[in-house]
Amino acid sequence: MKPRDFALSPGRVVGNEHSYLKTHSMRWTLLALCLSCFNLLQAQNQKFVRLFQFSLTPAISTNGLHPGGFTNYFSLNLTSGYSARNYLIELGVISNLNEEETRGLQFAGISNMTGANLFAGLQLREIDKKKREGAEANLSGLQFSGLANVVLNNVFGGQATGGVNVSKGALHGFQVSGISNTVGKYAFGLQLAGLYNVAVESMDGVQVASLFNVTQGGLFGVQLAVFNKAGFIEGVNSFINDKPSGLQLGLINHAKTMNGFQIGLVNISRRMQGTQVGLINIYNNGKSPQTRDGTSIGLVNIGSSGYVALYATDLFLTNIEISTGTFKNHRINTDVREKQIQNGLIYSTSPAFLSDNESWAVGYGLKKYFFNRSLAPGYHKLNFFSLGVDFLHVNHERKKFTKELSLLSRPNVSFGSRLHPKNKRYYFFAAATYNIYRSGGDRAIDTLLKEASGKPGRLQYAPGFAAGILIQ
């Protein structure tokens, strides 16, 4: 009989059989002890690493009852997943939560969270210490979810969801959501949301939303929404940064300091040295020495300058123009002329007792004025010349608005003077103009100088003039 060919019976252990069992028992005991020590050390150092992890719930998984100590490369979670880190791909039917870091791709039916329990169970003193030591929970990759993506610190990559994206730190990449995107610090990249975007400290990129975009700091890119708000926008007239860097495009745009561009129905800036294009522009001039002010182009411009003008033209004997605009360079002492941009609202008619012309017109004029500068008392802004163009809708029947196209364009050059230094506000001026008229019907225009060339209903043109008084 060989040593292993035996049958054990109660009370019978002999020779080689007893020695063999004792040796193998000691081996298994030592192996179990080593594994226990190894598992204990790994649990204490939070350094479990798994190539693949599968879970039914966070507590029922291949990582055991305490999955928060594991780093996984591939994770599949039939409900919700929970781990310290995930490095390549994680798929959760309901949600995924990584305490310390997420890399690669992450997909969830409802939500992805990075850093949710990073400071769980710690006192405030311990949390402050951990933050000072540089503890962060960042995303380096892409998150996709049905409802929410939340990252405790920074996003280096992208977040896409049907609900909300949140990065409590910075964003270097993009956020796309059905409802909102929020960045707690600065953002470099794209925010595209169904309702609103927020980048608290600054936005260097593009924000697009249906309702509003907000940054409390600087806008170095584009905001597109119904309402846009920025702390400041640098641009060509800034004291430090002389390059255009920000654009707000929406129904209402607001910036505390606006040296870039605003295009909308209503543009508001506490200090404006950029360009506003809108129906209503509200602004204050800049204050930095040796910097230029901006340009407001719109029907109503509430800011720094304006005038009222009463004059006659070759088409209408009475014209009233109310203008609002901006100074351009009154802080630039070295410029030989003071420059203004003016937006005029124009009403034109010919009194019935002076003319049988029943036509009247309303329109808008945009002009750039150049006033002389002088140190002599009373001679500063004594004279001016201007370049501009007026656009008038001509109505051919008194008290009746012409519905078809009836556009009169009048490029013009004007010269004016106060004539005497003691005259402080009244400028007498004359202008050379050119009439270009386009009608959708068979209407025509007649000037006092000569009959307009061209055919009625098409393009007509003729030289013209204007003369009157301007009060500033």
Say if strands 252-258 and 261-272 run parallel, antiparallel, or are unpaired.
parallel
Sign of the Cα pseudo-torsion (331, 332, 335, 341, in order): negative
Q: Which amino acid, residue 215?
A: T
Q: DSSP strand E in 234-274: where?
A: 247-249, 252-258, 261-272
**Which helix (H) or strand (E) segment is 36 a member of?**
helix 15-45
Type and span of the H or E element at 461: strand 459-471
Which letter does DSSP use for residue 448 in this model?
A: S
Radius of gyration of the chain (CA): 38
pTM: 0.82
pLDDT at 111: 96
Assign 40 a pLDDT band (cuts: 50, 70, 90).
very low
Amino acid identity of 386? S
Name residue, tokens 């507590």.
59
**Is the confidence at residue 20, as pLDDT, over 60?**
no
CB neighbourhood size of 348 (10 A): 24
DSSP 67: G
**Residue 309 to residues 148, 386, 428, 430, Cα–Cα distance (Å):** 59, 14, 10, 12
Distance (Å, whole) CA 443 – CA 437: 10
Tell me what pLDDT residue 181 has: 98
> pLDDT of 377-433, one tens digit each?
889 999 999 999 999 999 988 889 988 899 999 999 999 999 999 999 999 999 999
The answer, yes or no, to whether residue 216 has pLDDT greater than 50, is yes
Tokens at 407, concatenated: 């556009």
As a whole number of angstroms, the distance between CA 56 and CA 78 comes to: 5
Name 47's Cβ contacts closer than 8 Å, sequence gap at least 6. Answer: 69, 71
Q: At 274, is the secondary structure helix, strand, or coil? A: coil
List, by residue range, all CATH 2.40.160 domains of the chain: 305-471
Angle at 166 between CA 162 and CA 169, to 5 degrees: 155
The dihedrals phi and psi of 31, each to the nearest 5 degrees, come to: -65, -45
pLDDT at residue number 126: 64
Q: How far apart are CA 451 and CA 153, in angstroms?
A: 74
Q: Is the pLDDT of residue 442 over 90?
A: no
* Phi and psi at residue 150, to the nearest 5°: -130, 130
Q: Does residue 112 sit in helix, strand or coil?
A: strand
Overall average pLDDT of the 24-31 stretch: 53
Q: Give me the chain's average pLDDT, please.
A: 86
Q: Which residues contact 315 (CB under 8 A, 6 or more apart)?
A: 348, 359, 361, 408, 435, 445, 447, 448, 464
Does residue 452 carry a pLDDT above 70?
no
Residue 282 clears pLDDT 70, i.e. is over it: yes
Model confidence over 45-96: pLDDT tens digits?
445 888 999 999 888 888 888 787 899 999 999 999 999 899 999 999 999 9
15 three-class SS: helix
Query: Hey, is 18 helix, strand or coil?
Result: helix
Tell me the average pLDDT across 255-277: 93
User: What single DSSP character describes residue 289?
Assistant: T
Instruction: Answer yes or no: is pLDDT of 193 > 80.
Output: yes
> In angstroms, how far apart are the furthest CA atoms of the chain?
144
- Beta-bridge partner residues of 408: 392, 437
Average pLDDT over residues 18-31: 52
Q: How far apart are the first and last CA of the chain?
A: 127
CATH architecture assigned to 305-471: Beta Barrel (2.40)
